[in-house]
Structure 1
Amino acid sequence: MREQEELKADVLVVGAGPVGLTLAMDLAARGVKVLVAETRRHAEPPNVKCNHVAARTMEQFRRLGVAQKLRDAGLPADHPNDVVFRTSVTGIELTRIPIPCRRDRYTETEGPDAWWPTPEPPHRINQLFLEPILLEHTAALPNVRLLNRTQVGGFEQDADGVTADATDLDTGDTRRIRCRYLVGCDGGSSGVRKRIGAKLEGTAVIQRVQSTYIRAPQLRALIPGKPAWSCYSVNPRRCGTTFAIDGRETWLVHNHLNAEEPEFDSVDRDRSIREILGVGEDFDYEVISKEDWVGRRLVADRFRERRVFIAGDAAHLWVPYAGYGMNAGIADAINLSWLLAACVQGWADERILDAYQAERQPITEQVSQFAMDHAQKMIRARRAVPSDIEAPGPEGDALRAEVGREAYELNVQQFCCAGLNFGYFYTRSPIIVADGEPAPAYTMGDFTPSTVPGCRAPHLWLADGRSLYDAFGPGYTLLRFDRRVEIGALEKAAREARMPLAVLDVDAKEIPRAYRHRLVLCRADQHVAWRGDRVPADADVLVARLRGAAAA
């Protein structure tokens, strides 16, 4: 064991899962030098976890130049992304939530999941396919260095940065890493979170799930009717969820344990899988891997300790809901990235970093409550499955129709969740200028586009065919809807403060009604920071606020 040379970077990212890789990609795109430390080997296959990339995440991947690579991967292009409820995977269909396949994702206009006001609607893809694409893209960036098989241990902070100790897990060699900031994207058991003294608070156990990744080439031929991306099995013997991974022969089976089954090993895995699939003892399948997990509702009491931050599962854990665990972590990364870059680039005051916890912690707390509430409703529904749900004849048909209606109403907002994607907003932020108008209510299924400061700037298509977001600058972007409005004072104040400000005179095919003001100032993460009909007389005060140099 020997000590190697000290490494230096602007930001050290601990963890190379989707959250850490997205953070590194975004920082690198802003000219920030990044080191990423990961305990796994390079290109080691990830866990079979997330199956869904939300629209807000895809909007950011579009900006980072990786969206199309992801669209081209995952399930076959024509494989339905529907969510179906059946008595078993091979049993009787109860209801179906239609979701376009990736071939039709941009063109389909019918159905609860086809109206998304965005250049990048959601994409169903398992982490097995997602993460390697993000890794390849990140590894090719000039400002990023990946340190695989590297364990970050202790670290110390001072007025100018962070010094971390890192160990090569193969050789035992140690090295020091000097950085301005450190971000822990190291998962639910985060060492970074523990070292800054942050604590997870909430509900420790909501649901236990036996999760098995299997290969079953014969299964698809046994499934009646139209295939689906996800199938919820509803029967009195065993309820579970099955995801199509490659659309041909691999599947992820979640067996939802009952309250009286507190131990994973107390439940016969093989029998449960067969009950969920609806197959007999003569059906052959191969277990590829097992990853049992506990659904929780936990949010860290703080996301930051001076120059050290946490994001993703390191900061919040909840029952998988709308696939939003990973996506919430990526939203953390996008929120934090431009703030860190602003400090590294020298145009922002360090106080701008206070916005990260002020904005992200309340949102993740709220989403965690949504997830827990839905999980509890699903638990109650599983307990109430009628014993005769598989009975033949008219009475059985009527019962299945009723259960199907209830399942649809309970779950359509989870899988067609425009509100979850676009409706969240930031309040009480030190860098958002409120104007007294409240933001529309945050709900799961629906949302009202709004330019209330803190909301996502409503999407529109420009006259030249570009998305509005394609025209945003790397810092702040001023949308001007009337060229007669004089903006020189704001441009001058931004220039003197070295704050990047792009001006976009909006020429659009159709302007959403939410744009009621002649000026809307948007941040790098596409959230509205300020709006008005004229530049304020004290434009320098507004710029100071946006730079984090003035108190809210």
Structure 2
Amino acid sequence: RFNSEVLAFEQDAASVQVTVRDLQRENTYTVSADYLVGADGARSLVREGMGAKLEGQYGLSRNYNIVFHAPGLAQAHALGPAIMYWQINEDVPSLIGPMDRGDTWFFMPTGVPPDFRLDAEGSAALIRRATGIDLPYRALSTDEWVASRFLGDNYRDRRVFLVGDACHLHPPFGGYGMNMGVADSVDLGWKLAAVLAGWGGEALLDSYMAERRPVHQMVLDEAVANHA
């Protein structure tokens, strides 16, 4: 279900019993399933429940995501339309680009120092400094995030599997995150379907991690190189 989260699970030879909380109705219920796939992100409770660990390096850099309103910004520069602009300078290295509608934009200062803090007022001033364009910027949200490199040590515990950010985390530069999550799900999906249809077996399910983890390793290296 959408808007639900896994709280706990138990498994035996035949099924997985999953305790789930409905975030809309705020009630808890139990589901019995043939398999459980944890696609629950970086703080995966499924990963924690199956005893898998993320191994790697935390804190390659500190960064901010700022969503802001800026009427006229698209017309205030001569670079033409793009989905993302890289602002490469010693003062405020950053990315900036339009969101999906109107005059809403994102701004991402990268590699900020440990003592750096940013609020709505400071965000507007920093955007002016980074772009060199003086407009009435209005910050809608500011979120700090940390770039890290992590890879899961295990993607499977019997009837429980991990996909996406639950088993690999990397800097976003290159746009690999969603692509890898979809590819994980396609690879695992057809194999689970084969087992449920009766023509696949345990060795096919074991091939999921064997096939995907080397790809994750390669892509994580590429994302870290792009970050650097």
Q: Does the pair score TM above 0.5?
A: yes
The match for 1:163 is 17
Larger-Rg structure: 1
Question: What is the DSSP-based 3-state SS (H/G/I as helix, E as strand, rest coil) of the residue aligned with 1:211?
Answer: strand
SS of residue matched to 1:296: strand
Residue 215 of structure 2: which of 363, 379, 387 is its match?
363
- Tell me the equivalent position of 1:221: 75
1:370 to partner: Cα distance? 1.4
1:91-490 aligned at under 5 Å gives the runs 148=3, 150-246=4-100, 248-258=102-112, 261-265=113-117, 268-280=122-134, 283-376=135-228
Call closer, same or farther: CA 1:187–1:263 in 2, change over 3 Å: farther
Distance (whole Å) between structure 1 residues aligned to residue 220 and residue 115 of structure 2 = 24
Q: What's the secondary structure of 2:80's corresponding residue? A: coil
Task: Give the 3-state SS of the residue equivalent to 1:357 in structure 2.
Answer: helix
Q: How far did 1:289 drift? A: 2.4
The 1-side partners of 2:169 and 2:191 are apart by 24
CA deviations over 1:296-335 (Å, ceiling 9, x no partner): 1101111111111111111110001211111111111111
Give how far 1:195 is off. Answer: 0.9
Residue number in structure 2 paired with 1:541:
none
Q: Give the secondary structure class of the aligned counterpart of 2:188.
A: helix
Matched-pair contact (CA < 8 Å) for 2:84–2:97: yes
Distance (Å, rounded) in 2 between the aligned partners of 1:239 and 1:206: 16
Deviation at 1:272, TM superposition (A): 2.0
More strand by share: 2
Q: Give CA deviations for 1:268-294 in whole Å, capped at 9, x if unaligned.
A: 4333222222223xx212222223211
1:90 is aligned to: none
Given that 1:343 and 1:349 are in contact with CA atoms closer than 8 Å, whether structure 2 keeps it comes out as: yes
What residue number does 1:17 align with? none
Any runs of at least 4 consecutive aligned residues in structure 1 with deviations exceeding 6 A, and if so which?
Answer: none
TM-score by length of 2: 0.92
CA distance in 1, matches of 2:147, 2:161: 24
Kept in 1, the 8 Å contact 2:174–2:226? The answer is no
Distance 1:304 1:367 in 2: 20
Q: What amino acid maps onto 2:182 in structure 1?
A: I
- SS of the aligned residue for 2:182 comes to helix
Displacement of 1:338 after TM fit? 0.2
- Paired residue secondary structure (1:352): helix
- Structure 2 unaligned spans of 5+: none
What is the CA distance between 1:351 and its match in structure 2?
2.2
| Per-residue CA distance 1:118-140 (angstroms, 9 max, x = gap) | xxxxxxxxxxxxxxxxxxxxxxx
CA offsets, 1:91-124, max 9 Å, x none?
A: xxxxxxxxxxxxxxxxxxxxxxxxxxxxxxxxxx
The answer for the alignment partner of 1:142 in structure 2 is none
1:215·1:287 contact (CA, 8 Å) conserved in 2?
A: yes
Amino acid of the residue matched to residue 150 of structure 2?
Answer: L
Q: Is the 8 A contact 2:70 2:136 kept in 1?
A: yes
Deviations along 1:184-234, whole A, 9 cap, x unmatched?
111111111111111111111112111111121210110114222211112
Within 2, Cα distance between the matches of 1:265 and 1:286?
Answer: 17
Q: Answer whether contact 1:213 1:251 (CA < 8 A) is retained.
A: yes
- Measure, in 1, the Cα distance between the counterparts of 2:89 and 2:225: 22
TM-score (norm 1): 0.39
CA contact (8 A) 1:296 1:318 kept: yes
Cα drift, residue 344 of structure 1: 1.0
Contact persistence 1:210–1:264 (CA under 8 A): no
Q: CA deviation at 1:152?
A: 1.6
Count of residues in correspondence between the two structures: 226
